[in-house]
Homo-oligomer: A and B are copies of this chain.
Amino acid sequence: MTTRPPVARSRTTWQRRAVLRAIETAPCHLAADEIHRRLQRGRRRIGLATVYRALEAFVREGVVESVHIGDGRVRYGLAARHHDHLVCLTCGAWEPLEECPVPAASGGLPSGFAVTGHRLEVFGYCARCREADR
């Protein structure tokens, strides 16, 4: 039998459970500091660095996905509830997109590449801003 090199296993801590629960119960994708702020409401404190480490681990494991809506911070949501976003270039407001056009596209990929996910943001101008700009 072969001996495997000791692989770093991910551990379950109450901090990681709390981070995951915050993401699960959120209405939409959250930034790291938003997650951190929500967790301060609990009785036990969690460090911001721990939140970042938990997010990194969850993303690596494929449980959580990250999105960039355009302000400078990364937001996180459950991969199982994947959705893309529509972002207004004027006011910065964003909202989930109902349909996801990407999975259908499997053409044009180099052979041997195994797709696990994607990140899509659609840009434009929302009705409100177009109205205000007339």
- A contact set with B: CB distance below 8 Å: 60, 68, 86, 88-89, 95, 97-102, 104-105, 107-127, 130-131
The distance in angstroms between the C-alpha atoms of A110 and B98, with both chains bound, is 9
Chain copies in complex: 2
- Asked if B116 and A123 sit within 8 Å, CB to CB, the answer is yes
The distance in angstroms between the C-alpha atoms of A116 and B124, with both chains bound, is 5
- Asked if B114 and A105 sit within 8 Å, CB to CB, the answer is no
- Asked if A130 and B114 sit within 8 Å, CB to CB, the answer is yes
- Asked if A113 and B126 sit within 8 Å, CB to CB, the answer is yes
Closest chain B residue to A97, Cβ basis: B108
The distance in angstroms between the C-alpha atoms of A89 and B115, with both chains bound, is 10
The dominant DSSP class at the A interface is mixed
- Asked if A89 and B116 sit within 8 Å, CB to CB, the answer is yes
- Asked if B130 and A112 sit within 8 Å, CB to CB, the answer is yes
- Asked if A125 and B120 sit within 8 Å, CB to CB, the answer is no
Kindly name the residue among A100, A122, A131 whose own CB sees the greatest number of chain B CB atoms within 10 A. Answer: A122
- Asked if A117 and B123 sit within 8 Å, CB to CB, the answer is yes
- Asked if B102 and A104 sit within 8 Å, CB to CB, the answer is no
- Asked if A110 and B86 sit within 8 Å, CB to CB, the answer is yes
- Asked if B102 and A107 sit within 8 Å, CB to CB, the answer is no
- Asked if A86 and B107 sit within 8 Å, CB to CB, the answer is no
CB within 8 Å for A99 and B95 given contacts A115-B122, A120-B119, A127-B113: no
